[in-house]
Structure 1
Amino acid sequence: MPLTRRSLMDAAAARFGWRRAYGDTTTVDELLTEQSEAAYTEAADHAALATAKNTDALAVQPGVLDTRGRILADVLSLEGVLAGARSRSLPSEVVKRLEDVVDHGHEVTVLLAAAAVRAAAAHTSSGN
């Protein structure tokens, strides 16, 4: 299915709070590829902007805090997905992967929090 049609269908479903599920690995692989291509295209723009904008340690802090907030919200949402997977006795490999993602997500939020704190400390120690 073309990306444009799938995007419209996904947007319509999301409007009603629904999410689509894909029953075959080929479609999932295509979607993952499309997501990756879109993210890497956007990342190139972000890198150029960040290089110009992030002139000191404190300048990176707002982006780090914003990213941490989004990731934390997503990880907490995934904890709900994990709880549902466990309560419905979904296949152990699915549950294990979700556990890994949730654990890793929490680790990432801890690292981002440390980066935000370190940016403030670097700013303070530089005498500003």
Structure 2
Amino acid sequence: MPFAHRSLIEAAAARFGWRRAYGDTTKVDGLLNEQTQTAYTQAADHARLATAKNCTALHIQPGVLDVRGRVLADVLYLEGVLTGARNRNLDPELVALLEEAVDQGHELAVLLADTARTTAALAKAGD
């Protein structure tokens, strides 16, 4: 099934709280590769637009704040997944990987917050 079509079906299912699980690593790897290809295809457009649009540090701030908000929300969701995995005594390797993902997600949220503060400080210094 084409990625766009599957994404539409999965988006509709997600509205009802349903998520598809894959019991085959080949299918997971295929989905991960599709996600990566899609992201890198979009990244070329983002870089071009950002170069044209982001001419000062303050111009960067809204995008950084948006990303930080999404990252933080996703990390907090993963914390819930981690808590559930711990409470259900799931495989220790899985729990350890979730812990690492949560820790790195929090670190990313902190770095993005620092970046947003820096954009404001640089704008104020330029006054």
- Give the TM-score range, shorter chain: over 0.9
- Where 2:17 maps in the other structure, the secondary structure is coil
1:126 shift after superposition: 1.1
Deviations 1:42-75 (A, max 9, x none): 1111111100000011110000000000000000
- Corresponding residue of 2:56: 56
Q: List alignment gaps of at least 5 residues for structure 1.
A: none
Q: CA deviation at 1:96?
A: 0.4
Between the aligned partners of 1:53 and 1:24, the Cα distance in structure 2 is: 43
How many positions carry a matched residue from both structures?
A: 127
1:20 aligns with 2:20: yes
- Quick check: 1:37 aligned with 2:54? no
RMSD over equivalenced CA pairs, Å: 1.2
The answer to whether 1:11 aligns with 2:11 is: yes
Question: Per the alignment, in what secondary structure is the counterpart of residue 104 of structure 1?
Answer: helix
1:15-58 CA distance string (max 9 Å, x none): 32100100010000000000000011111111111000000111
TM-score by length of 1: 0.94
The alpha carbon displacement at 1:3 in A equals 2.7
| Alpha-carbon spacing, 1:4–1:56, altered in 2? closer, same or farther (3 Å) | closer
Partner of 2:106: 106
2:73 is matched with: 73
Any runs of at least 4 consecutive aligned residues in structure 1 with deviations exceeding 2 A, and if so which? 1-9
Counterpart of 2:126? 126
What are structure 2's unaligned runs of at least 5 residues?
Answer: none
Read off the aligned partner of 2:10 and give its amino acid letter. Answer: D
Write the distance in 1 (CA, Å) between the matches of 2:82 and 2:91. Answer: 12
Q: Identity percentage over the alignment?
A: 65
Report the TM-score, using the length of structure 2 for normalisation: 0.94
Whole-angstrom distance in 2 between the partners of 1:86 and 1:100: 14
Counterpart residue type for residue 29 of structure 1: D
